[in-house]
Amino acid sequence: MARFTDRTVIVTGAAQGIGEEYAKALAAEGAKVIVADLNTERGTDVAKQITAGGGTAIFREVDVSEPESAAAVAEFTLGEFGRIDHLVNNAAIYGAMKLDLLLSVPWDYYKKFMGVNLDGALNMTRAVWKPMRKQGGGSIVNQSSTAAWTYSGFYGLAKAGINSLTQQLAHELGSANIRINAIAPGPIDTEATRSIVPEQFVDEIVKGAAIKRLGTPQDLVGACLYLLSDDAKWVTGQVLNVDGGTVFRA
């Protein structure tokens, strides 16, 4: 399949883990990919791997919590490829996340965390929506989490905010033919998850799921490609759980 031939996509947080898989899958279906991340070394390596495999990718450093940095990556993309068709807002503080309570987490850390994990999606969307509108439309996928429906402290708060942001922006962007949806993964077997979630907690989560295993980044790829593609041309404002049946919601 080549649903994204001649299309350009920015994937934030694409230097590793889930974002890396999204970037590689989009390139495999013909997209020109901007691998956007703060990690220059790993992000550059991902772009090189895509190029070596016959795809098109360029690394660009970005701090999504800074509106100027978000605007700069959008301008860079337009300069390189002349258009922006799709955006994946995947960047997040997760693997190195401070474990603390909402009542006691240092305020400066909380503000930076929310600046990346919630405001970052809005900053990037604000940076790309006008070019998308000018060319006739586009699509955006935000990365949420099933943490939005469980006790997960400020991480869950940020993801609940992503869900609401997705729904609100769907209405603001609809008249510009720009669709925006979100994916809510359950527990995913990544380096980041292994670094912060104790093994016994992971075991309990798996026991409570309908499908008795952790997810993988590859499990999320199909949902991301579908929501970005024309196959979902009448789908917007939705939050799609990809979680092995971990969370049931009406």
Question: pLDDT tens, 52-75?
Answer: 999 999 999 999 999 999 999 999
Q: The whole model's pTM is what?
A: 0.95
151 catalytic residue (yes or no): no
Question: pLDDT tens, 166-195?
Answer: 999 999 999 999 999 999 999 888 776 666
Residue of 94, 109, 155, 226 marked active site: 155
Residue 198 has pLDDT above 70, yes or no: no
**Residue 1, domain member (yes or no):** no
Under a CB-based contact definition with an 8 Å cutoff, are residues 31 and 7 in contact?
yes
Structure tokens at 150: 């469980």
Count of domains for the chain: 1
**Residue 60, domain member (yes or no):** yes
- Confidence at 205, pLDDT banded by 50, 70, 90: confident
Query: What count of Cα atoms within 13 Å lies in the side-chain half-sphere of residue 32?
Result: 13
Structure tokens at 205: 């989560």
- Domain of 54, CATH number, reads 3.40.50.720
**Residue 61, domain member (yes or no):** yes
Residue 74: per-residue pLDDT: 98
Please work out, in degrees rounded to the nearest 5, the angle formed at the alpha carbon of residue 196 by the alpha carbons of 192 and 201.
115
**Residue 75, domain member (yes or no):** yes
**Residue 103, domain member (yes or no):** yes
d(CA 240, CA 182): 6
**Residue 250, domain member (yes or no):** no
pLDDT > 70: percent of the chain: 95
Block residue for tokens 């789908």: 235
**Residue 124, domain member (yes or no):** yes
Which residue segment(s) compose the domain that 220 sits in?
A: 8-241
Under a CB-based contact definition with an 8 Å cutoff, are residues 188 and 211 in contact?
no
- Confidence at 196, pLDDT banded by 50, 70, 90: low
Sheet holding 8-12, edge to edge: 56-61, 32-37, 8-12, 86-89, 138-143, 178-185, 239-242
Residue 217: per-residue pLDDT: 94
Question: pLDDT tens, 123-134?
Answer: 999 999 999 999
**Residue 129, domain member (yes or no):** yes
Residue 136 has pLDDT above 80, yes or no: yes
Query: What count of Cα atoms within 13 Å lies in the side-chain half-sphere of residue 34?
Result: 32
Query: What count of Cα atoms within 13 Å lies in the side-chain half-sphere of residue 197?
Result: 21
Distances in whole angstroms, Cα of residue 13 to Cα of each of 36, 67, 169, 217 = 6, 16, 21, 13
